[in-house]
Amino acid sequence: MIIFKSINNLKKKVNFSKNIGFVPTMGAIHEGHLSLINQSKKKCDKTVVSIFINPKQFNNKLDFKNYPRNLNKDIKLLKKNKVDYLLLPKYDELFRVNLRKKIRLKNKDRILCAKYRPGHFEGVLHVINQYLNLIQPKFIFLGEKDYQQYHLISNFIKDKFITRAYLCKTIRQNNLYALSSRNKLLKNKDLHILKSVTMIIKKFYFSLKKEKKNVKNLGHTKMLLEKTGINLEYLEIRNKINFSKKISKGNFKIFIAYYFKNIRFIDNF
Ligand code: AMP
C-alpha cells in the first residue's frame, strides 16, 4: 500500500486510465468500511481509500474533538486488506481552493440530518467535489448506513463527474446495530442500548412492511425509544427514492438519529 499525504501527489503517481475505486472515510476503520473496500476490489483494478476527519462536517466542536482517531491501527488494517493507495490529505489542500460556487443544498434537501446539522452535507459535498475533481474514480463506494449522504452525493455527482456512486449494504453487529466509528466511544456495557433501539425500529419496520396503515404507530415507537434512555433527535418515515413523505408499502425507509451519552448515532431500515 502506498501512502500519499496530498491528492496532487496521488494524482502524479497513479495511472488514472485504470479503473479506480474510491472509498472516502473518516478513519477508525471497522468491518463496515472494509465491506466497501471489498466491493471496490471486486469491481475495480485499483482501490484508493482516504482518511480525513473533515472539521466542516461537524457542527459541534466537542464531537469533532472526541471523534475516534487511530491512524496506526487503520494503516495496519488497510495494508492487511490489500488497499492499493491510502490518501491522508491535509485540511489546507482540500479547503484552500475556494470553489467558485459555494455548495448549497436545495431547500427540499434540508431534512433529516441536513436539518439538524446545518452545514454538515455542504462540508461533505465540498470534500467529495475536491476528491473527485482530482482522482476521477470510476466508482465511489458509499454505505447505506448513511443513506441520506449517499442520496445527496449521487445526485450531486450525476451531471458533474464520470464517477458513479455505488451503494453498499449496512454491516451490523449480529444483525442489530450498525457498525460505526462512534460505537468505539461507548463502553461495552452501554452497547445494549444500541441493541434495544435497533430492535424497536426493526419491529416497526416489519409492521410497516406488512401494513402501511401501521404508520400510525410512529408516535408509540418514539415513546418506546425514549424509554430506553436515548435522546431522540428524529424518527421519520420517508420515500426511499425521493425522500418525500409519500410512501407505499415497499418503497419507504425509517430514519433515526439520536444521542446516547452525548454521542450522536444514526441508522435507517
Ligand atoms: P465514515 O468513516 O463514518 O465517514 O464512513 C465512511 C463510509 O463508510 C461511508 O460511506 C459510510 O456510509 C460507510 N459506512 C460506515 N459504517 C458502515 C456500516 N456499518 N456498513 C456499511 N458502510 C458503512
**pLDDT one-digit tens code per residue, 15-25:** 777 799 999 99
Burial bucket for residue 28 (CB in 10 Å: 0-12, 13-18, 19+): buried
Last residue of a domain, one of 128, 147, 168: 168
26 Cβ closer than 6 Å to some ligand 1 atom: yes
150 and 227, same domain (yes or no): no
Same-domain check for residues 58 and 123: yes
133-169: pLDDT as tens digits: 988 999 999 999 999 999 999 999 999 999 999 999 9
Based on the domain organization, do 117 and 148 belong to the same domain? yes
Ligand 1, atom nearest to 180 Cα: 16
**Nearest of 114, 171, 170 to residue 144 by alpha carbon:** 170
Ligand 1 lined by 10 (C-beta under 6 Å): no
Rounded to whole angstroms, the Cα distance separating 63 from 191 reads: 19
Pocket flag, ligand 1, residue 180 (CB < 6 Å): yes
Distance (Å) from CA 32 to ligand 1 centroid: 6
- For residues 204 and 249, state if they share a domain: yes
Question: Are residue 122 and residue 185 in the same domain, yes or no?
Answer: no
Nearest Cα neighbor of 178 from 32, 49, 25, 13 is: 32
pLDDT of 99 reads: 56
171 CA closest ligand 1 atom index: 20
- Order of strands across the sheet with 263-268? 231-239, 252-260, 263-268
Confidence of residue 250 (pLDDT cuts 50, 70, 90): confident
Tell me, in angstroms, the distance from the centre of ligand 1 to residue 148's CA: 12
User: Do 179 and 162 share a structural domain?
Assistant: no
Asked if residue 170 has its Cβ within 6 Å of ligand 1, the reply is: yes
Identify whether residues 28 and 113 lie together within a single domain: yes
Residues 8 and 91 placed together within one structural domain of the fold: yes
Choosing from 147, 168, 189, the residue where a domain stops is 168
For atom 12 of ligand 1, the residue with the nearest CA is 143
Do 205 and 246 have their domain in common?
yes
DSSP 42: H
Number of domains in the chain: 2
Choosing from 119, 143, 168, the residue where a domain stops is: 168
Nearest CA to ligand 1 atom 18: 32
| 33 and 153 share one domain | yes
Which ligand 1 atom is nearest residue 181's CA? 3
Residues 199, 217 share a domain:
yes
> Which one, of 57, 53, 50, lies nearest residue 134 by Cα?
50
> Is any atom of ligand 1 closer than 6 Å to the C-beta of 179?
yes
Does the C-beta of 153 come closer than 6 Å to ligand 1?
Answer: no
pLDDT band of residue 97 (cuts 50, 70, 90) is: low
pLDDT for residue 149: 98
Please give the share of the chain, as a percent, with pLDDT higher than 90.
Answer: 86
Q: Are residues 44 and 143 in the same domain?
A: yes
Whether residue 32 has its Cβ less than 6 Å from ligand 1? yes
Tell which one of 25, 266, 268 to mutate to probe ligand 1, the residue whose CB is within 8 A of the most ligand atoms. Answer: 25
Which structural domain, as residue segments, surrounds residue 253?
173-268
Does ligand 1 have an atom closer than 6 angstroms to the CB of 89?
Answer: no
CATH of the domain at 190: 3.30.1300.10
Which residue from 23, 70, 145 has its CB within 8 A of the most atoms of ligand 1, so it is best to mutate? Answer: 145
All residues at 6 or more sequence positions from 132 whose CB lies less than 8 Å from its CB, including other chains: 22, 140, 157, 160, 161, 163
Among 89, 81, 258, smallest CA distance to 180 is for 258
Instruction: Assess whether 33 carries a catalytic annotation.
Output: yes
The predicted pLDDT at position 98 comes to: 63
Q: What is the CATH number of the domain that holds 81?
A: 3.40.50.620
pTM of the model: 0.97
